[in-house]
Amino acid sequence: MATLQLDLAERSYPIYIDSHLLQAGELLSKHIRGQRVCVVTNNIVAELYLPALQQLLSNFQVDEIILPDGEAEKSLHNFEKIMSHLLENTHGRDSTLIALGGGVIGDITGFAAACYQRGIDFIQVPTTLLSQVDSSVGGKTAVNHPLGKNMIGAFYQPKAVLIDIDSLQTLPAREFSAGMAEVIKYGILGDSIFFEWLEHHIEDINAQIPAVLVEMIQRCCQCKADIVSADETEAGCRALLNLGHTFGHAIEAEQGYGNWLHGEAVATGMVLAAKLSVAMNLLEASELRRIESLLAAFNLPLDAPDTMNFTSFIKHMRRDKKNIGGKLRLIIPNAIGEAVMRDDISEDMLQQIL
């Protein structure tokens, strides 16, 4: 089993990566301090994995909240539904929430944990590739609003993250590809050696060879853990993890949450950021082609929706959380393995790219 530690002083926590973790009862139970547990999941994941989790938790008093599947469900309405369930079932500060699912479930469960009685424990059990390599680690929790993605939320760390790679066997191919966008992101923003490793392991990754998946997920989690340990609340280097996200969030909001998967939007966003960098004479055109080639190898989109133009992009980008003083701040790659934040990119320059 691969085990990492995200170091945040008294809020540090372990990240476990292996097969068969949904059969490892002692590993889970040692991170639950009380007797009350509430599992938050969705209808698809519940059918696949909730019985196994319930068996692991047989020594605890457990109830469940089962939400519909989809990005559109990461809403204030469902946040209120979780709050009402916890209150109606008299959960206290010694209760633990368990997020069993992908990024939507992890984000909304974490936000509920941060808010309920001003903060209770929660544990991440991510079941999609995207959530395993990105959203389950680092303590970003949120819900969406029609005017912007993840604009209502909190930084709130879990007590542990259990990543069972066996759950990827039931993941639809499109969802697996979407997760690969976040994997590739780590190579572009800060690890050229990892990017090259991905180029050499395309077939093994697509075949989901267990040892290759564990190594890939571990490298992604280690990269994110190092960045979050240095900058938990995104005052500096953590913003680099948003490579492709400013463009991507605009696509998601404009197209309607769930019509483009988050990873698909991020993939296109990274291509747009790379094209912008080429136009600024920073990124070599050959490196843009490598980025596009690797994304295409995992069936990810490279082009923005035909229905979107500069106007539809910029209205969302002006609301981005990284912006300060009305200035757009974008993450762009200077090279494969090096990304920077820039606040000197004019809207005229963006219009040429978009």
Q: Which amino acid is at 104?
A: V
The catalytic residue among 71, 73, 175, 234 is 234
31 carries an active-site annotation: no
Q: CA of 350: how far to CAs of 138, 242, 354, in Å?
A: 30, 17, 6
Say how far apart CA 27 and CA 35 lie, in whole Å. Answer: 16
Q: What percent of the chain lies above the pLDDT cut of 70?
A: 100
The correct CATH number of 173-353 out of 3.90.110.10, 3.40.190.10, 1.20.1090.10, 3.50.30.10 is 1.20.1090.10
Taking 80 as the threshold, does the pLDDT of residue 25 lie above it?
A: no
The catalytic position among 74, 140, 275, 316 is 140
For 293, residues 6+ apart whose C-beta sits below 8 A from its C-beta are: none
Q: Which CATH architecture has domain 2-169?
A: 3-Layer(aba) Sandwich (3.40)
Please report the pLDDT score of residue 19 as a whole number.
94
As a whole number, the mean pLDDT across the chain is: 96
Q: What is the mean pLDDT of residues 328-332?
A: 95
Mean pLDDT of 281-300: 98
The Cα 122–Cα 107 span in angstroms is 11
pLDDT bin (cut points 50, 70, 90) of residue 24 is confident
Residue 242 appears among annotated catalytic residues? yes
Tell me: the pLDDT tens digits for 56-109?
999 999 999 999 999 999 999 999 999 999 999 999 999 999 999 999 999 999
- Report the C-alpha gap between 46 and 39 in whole angstroms: 10
Statement: residue 153 has pLDDT above 90: yes
Domain ranges of the chain: 2-169, 173-353
Average pLDDT over residues 118-134: 98
Q: Is 201 a catalytic residue?
A: no
Which position has the token pair 């139970």?
29
Q: Please tell me if the domain spanning 2-169 has the same topology as the one spanning 173-353.
A: no
| pLDDT confidence band for 147 (50 / 70 / 90) | confident
- Give me the mean pLDDT over the 116-140 stretch: 97
C-alpha to C-alpha distance for 140 and 167, rounded to whole angstroms? 22
Report the C-alpha gap between 225 and 117 in whole angstroms.
Answer: 28
d(CA 131, CA 261): 13
**Predicted structure pTM score:** 0.94
* Region 241-258 average pLDDT: 94
Which of 31, 249, 316, 321 is labelled catalytic?
249
pLDDT at 285 over 90: yes
Predicted confidence (pLDDT) at residue 278 exceeds the cutoff of 90: yes
